[in-house]
Amino acid sequence: MSDTIFGKITRGEIPTEFLYEDDQCVVIRDIQPQAPTHVLIIPKKPIPKLVDADDADQALLGHLMLVAGRVATQLGVGDGFRLVVNNGEAGGQTVFHLHLHILAGRTMAEGELSQGMQ
């Protein structure tokens, strides 16, 4: 399985501030934020894309969602945020290590599903 920048980050090989960490995932700030609050929930297990996850990952995927809610609340955006998973190049994925984006801090346009939220 090919390594990615997120593999290096989750293993602590690239110094990065963790807003949250547990045995299954870390949360970091996105280096190119698309909204005033833009953080990434990254599992330590390097699943390349959401479609590569299988039944054995069910608890992990649920955990990532719960962490997203808790972290959003801790960051003060629990009342309104968007959770995004890009899957594959056509889905806008650029780092092939599964991750969830939390985007918040400005009004999310109704019907706008892209990460960029023009």
Instruction: Return residues touching ligand AMP (CB under 6 A).
Output: 5, 28, 30-32, 40, 86, 92-95
Nearer of residues 32 and 118 to ligand AMP, judged by Cβ: 32
Nearer of residues 14 and 59 to ligand AMP, judged by Cβ: 14
State yes or no: is 97 an active-site residue.
no
Minimum distance from residue 31 beta carbon to ligand AMP (Å): 4
Residues 38, 97, 99, 101: which is the catalytic one? 99
Nearer of residues 79 and 105 to ligand AMP, judged by Cβ: 105
Closest CA relative to residue 102, chosen from 23, 39, 24, 11: 39
- Residues facing residue 46 across a β-bridge: none
The Cα–Cα gap between 100 and 72 comes to 12
Question: What residues are labeled active site?
Answer: 99
